[in-house]
Amino acid sequence: MGTVIDRLDVARGGWRTRHSALHLAVSAAQTCLERAGRSANDLDLLVNVGLYRDRNLGEPALAALIQEDIGAHPEDPHDDTHGTFSFDVANGSCGALNGLQIVDGFLRSHTIDWALVVASDADPGRGMSEHFPFAPTGGAILCRWTDDDFGLGPVHWVNRSDAGESFCATVGLEDARNVLRFRESDSMDERFATAGAQAARECLEASSLDLADVDLIVAAPARRKFRATLAEHLGVPVPRIVVADDERMHTASLVAALDRRTGGIPAGNRVLIIAVGAGVTAGAALYSEHP
């Protein structure tokens, strides 16, 4: 029994959408629902895990704007009627795994039938950022429950606090504008890989498995040095770790990595998912695809 990924899709920024995380999220969500043959009104839950958004907005929750734009019960909720509950979760490149874990809790309780995890980032532009490092990308993961013996397993988390030394993003007021700035250390990839490998080992140990029992390793972020260092820590060849095809992706990186192989995870595969982000925080989970 577990949460299964029914469909996932990625939207890449173009000239018109490169400064709008909202448009990228909406595009990914609409494409995902359309290709899955579902209506937006089928959604019981929408979790937005995107981080860098239009004009550096902090409020309202971007999830509510996404919900409205895709038409998922945008009207005011009424008693005894079906609606869509939406909210934001902010945890960088770990966000998509956080979203899947949250969705799994709701589905496991049988309080919902369908959930959508949406991620997106975009340079706010208009002088509101300095040296924005991430590619404009959106991603969406449509989830449902199965009583069969496949799907998402427990998520295992590791926190190796570095007080934001590895990677840090801040917003400060300059000329009446909120300006987004970034800082990263030379040791970022090594620290991320160390935490990711620890989370992976704890995840496998809890299931009495080892890496030989895993068909694929899917990881985020997609940074080349992180991927190579993670492979070294795990003792596997670098090509065995699948990442997004653009190392500049951020919150949608895990979605793109899961989607990279023939539009999804090969049938019957057991996948080890590893996500690492600032903090340093790392999560790992096993996912078994339908045979």
In tens, the pLDDT along 59-69 reads 789 999 999 99
Sequence ranges of the domains in the chain: 2-148, 156-288
| Mean pLDDT to the nearest integer, 45-65 | 91
| Mean pLDDT to the nearest integer, 265-279 | 89
For the chain, give the percent of residues with pLDDT over 90: 76
Sequential DSSP letters for the chain: -EEEEEEEEEEE--TTTTT-HHHHHHHHHHHHHHHHT--GGG-SEEEE---S-GGG--SS-HHHHHHHHHTSS-SPP-TTS---EEEE---GGGHHHHHHHHHHHHHHTTS-S-EEEEEEE----TT-BSS--S--EEEEEEEEEESSS-EE---EEEE---TT-SEEEEEEEETTEEEEEEEE-TTHHHHHHHHHHHHHHHHHHHTT--GGG-SEEEEES--HHHHHHHHHHHTS-GGGEE--S-TT--TTHHHHHHHTTTTSPPTT-EEEEEEEETTTEEEEEEEE---
Contact 24, 8 (CB under 8 A): no
Burial (0-12, 13-18, 19+ Cβ within 10 Å), 160 = middle
| 261 pLDDT above the threshold of 70 | no
Contact 141, 17 (CB under 8 A): no
| Mean pLDDT to the nearest integer, 16-29 | 92
Nearest one of 107, 127, 129 to 116, comparing CA atoms: 107
Q: pLDDT: is 101 or 58 the higher one?
A: 101
**What is the rounded distance in angstroms from the CA atom of residue 114 to the CA atom of residue 195?**
32
Domains 2-148 and 156-288 share a fold: yes
| Token couple for 74 | 């945008």
215-241 pLDDT, tens digit each: 999 999 999 999 999 999 999 999 999
pLDDT for position 262: 41
| Mean pLDDT, rounded, of the chain | 93
| Mean pLDDT to the nearest integer, 187-196 | 97
pLDDT for position 171: 84
- Assigned superfamily of 156-288: Thiolase/Chalcone synthase (3.40.47.10)
| 198 pLDDT above the threshold of 50 | yes
**Which residue do the tokens 């359309």 mark?**
34
Q: Does domain 2-148 have CATH number 2.170.130.10?
A: no
Sequential DSSP letters for 140-196: EEEEEEESSS-EE---EEEE---TT-SEEEEEEEETTEEEEEEEE-TTHHHHHHHHH
For the chain, give the percent of residues with pLDDT over 70: 98
